[in-house]
Amino acid sequence: MNKSNKLNKVILLVTSFQTIILGIAFIVQILRIYFGNSKVFTRDICGQYILEILPVIILWILVIIGSFIYFNINDFKYKNISKVSNVTKLANLERICPMINDEMVSNKLKSIKKKNLIVEIVLIIIIVLSSLMGLGYLLNIKHFDPTGDLFDQAKQMAIHLMPWAIISFGAFIGYSFYIEYSAKASCDILREVIKNNGKVNKEEILSKKKKMIKLICQLCIVVIAVVFIVVGVFNGGAEDTLQKAVNICTECIGLG
Amino acid sequence: MKKVKQFFSKLKPSKRKVIQLYSALLYNAYMKGFVTGEIFQGKSKAVCLPGLNCYSCPGAIGACPLGSIQNALAESKTKLPTYVFGIILLYCIIFGRTICGFLCPVGLLQELLFKIKTPKVRKSKITRCLSYFKYVLLFVLVIGLPLIYAFQEKGLPLPGFCKYICPAGTFEGAIFLLMNKANTTFFEMLGTLFTWKFFLLIIFIVASIFIYRFFCRFFCPLGAIYGIFNKLSILGVKVDKSACNHCNACINTCKMDVKEVGDHECIQCGDCMKVCGCKAIKWKMISQIIKEDEARQKEQEVKVSTVDEVNTKKVFKISKKNFNIITYVLMLVSLTTVMVLVNIGPNTYKTYDIVDDLIITDYDNKTFDIKVDSNATLLYFFNDQKDLDINKINSYSNEKLNIILLSENKVDINIENVYFAEDVDGKLLKKFSKDKNCPYSVFLDFNDKILINQSGFITDSEYFEIINYTLLGLTVGNEVGNICINKEIGIINSTDTFSVAENRGKVTIINFWYTTCTPCVQELPHFNSLYEEYSDYVSVIAIHEASGYKNNPDNVKKFIENQFEGFSILFGYDDPNDSYYTLLGGLKAWPVTVIVDQEGVITKVTHGSMTESELRAEIENLIK
């Protein structure tokens, strides 16, 4: 069993290694044409560069086919690729937790919630500020001159916005780690309460009224959509869509 | 033997895979396009497809929803984008992200790549957080950039996501078009942008092998839009909360970054149904019409306690087996119908085609066989004798030219050196014109190549510029070194016309453009500034795409007034029935620039934009 597990791991690693090598090969070839060939692309040049990495491509295909057959015959299955988060566990526990009469326990939970709220507020502030900084760049029309080099403007936009995006997502990731950690503490408390007092069922089943509201919303949106389409047909929107679709937008597909 | 059986049974695709494959084939049903290298021109392209499928793919029969949104926003200064928004809204409310799970070719491709056996990256808190990045792309590239550029004084149509990120465009559009030999000229256009997008495409492909639906989860703005309506959508998955025991097996199994089944990250694939121990996860709508199996029904009967459950039991339901059969039959019939409709149609000759089989017998029983006869041939189809200008026809008479007049009914006219033949039921005309509209002219050179293929009789300029030059032994065509094929082009806001023939003695620059083409609009100012510098030696005309002008001439005129105010170059419009763009070798890619020297010979044909320095070098080279 151990031997087969080791073999499985080796094959997986070989396949992933081959895949990454192939990806790098393609990137290197395109960069060689771009930098080494003075950005001149022709059918023959591209063909020649692809032929150079043909052995790598063929090897990759063979490895993929081989690993596919091997793993299918040996009924290989990946281990469960995720575990349930503490936040989800907490939500489940809150659903079945009875009312908490113990003041000390209740205060503990309240203090955890307070801390979570503070962290949430900090996160929202960071995201809002980062968004405003990004928005500030976007709303400054000087950065987007239609007569200038559009690719360069896009590059500058990415350079200016990326740090704010990194800060926002970094803060969000940090927040999710914190929440996970604090949820664990809350879970432990609620498990104790359930152990001592038993479970209840606080499941909220969608009432008839809410179902009706949902149905009405769906119908309204369908009607709005149909009206929009009809208006759009009459104001020439359909024709514009057709015109755009029957002509190849070269820059849209990277021909530039 | 058991293992072999096991192996083949694993290869059997799931129903979801079959539907994904079906939708990918349906969206790209124009198989002819992959052979000819041309994109589909049919009316169905006015309809947005639900999934991500680039409209520049040779096989695509519909428009890309994401590209259409961006273009509609780019035009929002002059027109509210209600049409595209309406279609997207309809898809959102009916399907939600079921489209991602069942109807998106890009999703299918990623899932197939994920099947390659490598170590996989698990979903986690980090991937859940990063899944919100697609909303950033939606806001910045799909909505923000088109609006920012459109609402400036000299606005520019810029589909930000398509241009800088979309791998579907690079793969389905660029790669497939470039692979076809007919599009060899497209290679001239490749540069920085293609290098960047190809690099991104490789990253997406490699990452999709290690990370489930890498593009869908982190980058797809279309998924972001559909996800907003996921809980409200009519179709999809739902959890019966009364039956759910909160074991979280569904979330555990799901490879997407869901917090609960049916949330904005859920692609409604239904994989969670297989692992749900208490069968609490069902399809919305479909579970109302399909009968449960007997065991499940008995279980339901025991659990039934609410009025709602009792009511649903009274609704007519069909068995699962019958439902599957009906679905598969409908799918097969619809796919076959669409494929037949788009791929099979009357094949007519086009300009520059070589006629390989044409035998005509005139009323005097003289037979003309194209393969044997070495003369050039002028065919004129007519119904009414009033359409015949006998003096003109006589003046075109030449020993190297066979003039053959054809009509469905016999006519009693005799013109020297002109032959009359009967075209029974218009069979011969059908080879050249789908609509069989008379009068119709076709001119074949000495090599049986069609140089004129149009309705109406040839004009004097067409005679002199095309037929006369051909008879003199010169090659008239659209390639470098040919005499530029001549055509009179209407000028916008004027009754005058423009033709290459009239501008002999000057370098003529013919540029083809249209209003929503970003590189076209960007390069025209260079053309104007160079024209103003070399106006004594150069003529420049910018010809707008035919049907775009025909359908909305005021829009084009307004665009020119606003964008190109004070420009000295001429602006013309093309003829949708006999497009000059097609005559000069246009492959439905824009812009195209044709440079003709002082003698009327084509010196350069560029597909894609030209920089000011490139154009200047060409002009200066010719002026010397």
| Beta carbons of A51 and A28 less than 8 angstroms apart | no
**CATH architecture assigned to B359-474:** 3-Layer(aba) Sandwich (3.40)
Alpha-carbon distance of B422 to A243, in angstroms, equals 40
Looking at the complex, report in whole angstroms how far the Cα of residue A242 sits from the nearest Cα belonging to chain B: 4
- pLDDT band at B6; cut points 50, 70, 90: confident
Cβ count near A12 (within 10 Å) = 18
Tokens of A181: 């950690």
Please write the tens of the pLDDT for every residue from A77-132: 887 656 778 888 888 888 888 887 888 888 888 999 999 999 999 999 999 999 99
Least trusted range by pLDDT, from A7-11, B218-222, B426-430, B505-509: B426-430
Tokens of A92: 């489940």
Q: Which residues of B touch A73 (CB under 8 A)?
A: 3-4, 6-7
Q: Do B90 and A222 touch (CB under 8 A)?
A: yes
The chain-wide mean pLDDT, for chain B, equals: 89
Looking at residue B435, its pLDDT comes to 77
- Given a cut of 70, whether residue B593 has pLDDT beyond it is yes
What average pLDDT does this structure show over B128-150?
Answer: 95
CB pairs below 8 Å between A and B: how many? Answer: 344
What average pLDDT does this structure show over B408-426?
Answer: 81
- Given a cut of 80, whether residue A204 has pLDDT beyond it is no
Please write the tens of the pLDDT for every residue from A210-233: 889 999 999 999 999 999 999 999
Instruction: Assign 3-class secondary structure to B101-124.
Output: HHCCHHHHHHHHHHCCCCCCCCCC
Looking at residue B307, its pLDDT comes to 47
| Beta carbons of B265 and B257 less than 8 angstroms apart | yes
So what CATH class is B483-623? alpha beta
**Percentage of chain B modeled with pLDDT above 90:** 56
Tokens of B86: 């309406």
What average pLDDT does this structure show over B153-162?
Answer: 88
What average pLDDT does this structure show over B433-455?
Answer: 87
Domain extent listing, chain A? 2-73, 86-197, 208-253
- Given a cut of 80, whether residue A205 has pLDDT beyond it is no
* Chain A, window 49-78: residues with a beta carbon less than 8 angstroms from a chain B beta carbon: 64, 67-69, 71-73, 75-76, 78
Q: A1 touching B, CB under 8 A?
A: no
- pLDDT band at A206; cut points 50, 70, 90: low
Looking at residue A52, its pLDDT comes to 95
Alpha-carbon distance of A42 to B241, in angstroms, equals 60
Mutual orientation of helices A2-31 and A43-52 as an angle, nearest 10°?
150
Least trusted range by pLDDT, from B265-274, B331-340, B341-350, B449-458: B341-350
Q: Which residues of B touch A169 (CB under 8 A)?
A: 129-130, 132-133
Tokens of B581: 């763009």
Q: Which residues of A touch B163 (CB under 8 A)?
A: 150, 154, 251-252
What average pLDDT does this structure show over A56-61?
Answer: 96
- pLDDT band at B62; cut points 50, 70, 90: very high
Least trusted range by pLDDT, from A63-72, B409-418, B430-439, B549-558: B409-418
Looking at residue B287, its pLDDT comes to 64
Looking at residue B306, its pLDDT comes to 47
Q: Which residues of B touch A184 (CB under 8 A)?
A: none
- pLDDT band at B288; cut points 50, 70, 90: low
Q: Do B195 and A241 touch (CB under 8 A)?
A: no
- pLDDT band at B291; cut points 50, 70, 90: low
Please write the tens of the pLDDT for every residue from A30-53: 999 999 877 788 899 999 999 999
Looking at residue B266, its pLDDT comes to 96
Q: Which residues of B touch A237 (CB under 8 A)?
A: 72, 79, 81-84
| Nearest residue, CB atoms, B120 vs list A78, A231, A241 | A78
Q: Do B125 and A173 touch (CB under 8 A)?
A: yes
- Given a cut of 70, whether residue B232 has pLDDT beyond it is yes
Q: Which residues of A touch B608 (CB under 8 A)?
A: 250, 255-256
Q: Where in chain B are all domains bearing CATH 3.40.30.10?
A: 359-474, 483-623
Looking at the complex, report in whole angstroms how far the Cα of residue A42 sits from the nearest Cα belonging to chain B: 5
ipTM: 0.93
Residue corresponding to tokens 């937008």: A249
Looking at the complex, report in whole angstroms how far the Cα of residue B305 sits from the nearest Cα belonging to chain A: 13
Q: Do B46 and A173 touch (CB under 8 A)?
A: no
Q: Do A253 and B173 touch (CB under 8 A)?
A: yes
Q: Do A16 and B46 touch (CB under 8 A)?
A: no
Q: A28 touching B, CB under 8 A?
A: no
- Given a cut of 90, whether residue B69 has pLDDT beyond it is yes
Looking at the complex, report in whole angstroms how far the Cα of residue A66 sits from the nearest Cα belonging to chain B: 10
Q: Do A248 and B39 touch (CB under 8 A)?
A: yes
Q: Which residues are CB-contacts of A63 (< 8 A; sequence separation ≥ 6)?
A: A14, A15, A18
- Given a cut of 90, whether residue B64 has pLDDT beyond it is yes
Of B374, B385, B550, which Cα lies nearest the Cα of B473?
A: B374
Local structure of B56: helix, strand or coil: coil
Looking at the complex, report in whole angstroms how far the Cα of residue A173 sits from the nearest Cα belonging to chain B: 6
| Beta carbons of A214 and B73 less than 8 angstroms apart | no
Please write the tens of the pLDDT for every residue from B258-270: 988 999 999 999 9
Please write the tens of the pLDDT for every residue from A143-174: 999 888 899 999 999 999 999 999 999 999 99
Looking at residue B311, its pLDDT comes to 47
| Beta carbons of B508 and A140 less than 8 angstroms apart | no
Q: A181 touching B, CB under 8 A?
A: no
Smallest CA–CA distance from A86 into chain B, residue: B125
Alpha-carbon distance of A28 to B240, in angstroms, equals 52
Q: Do B72 and A240 touch (CB under 8 A)?
A: yes
Counting Cβ atoms within 10 Å, is residue B153 exposed (0-12), middle (13-18) or buried (19+)?
exposed
Alpha-carbon distance of B224 to B201, in angstroms, equals 20
Model-level pTM?
Answer: 0.89
| Beta carbons of A41 and B194 less than 8 angstroms apart | yes
Q: Do A218 and B234 touch (CB under 8 A)?
A: yes
- Given a cut of 70, whether residue B297 has pLDDT beyond it is no
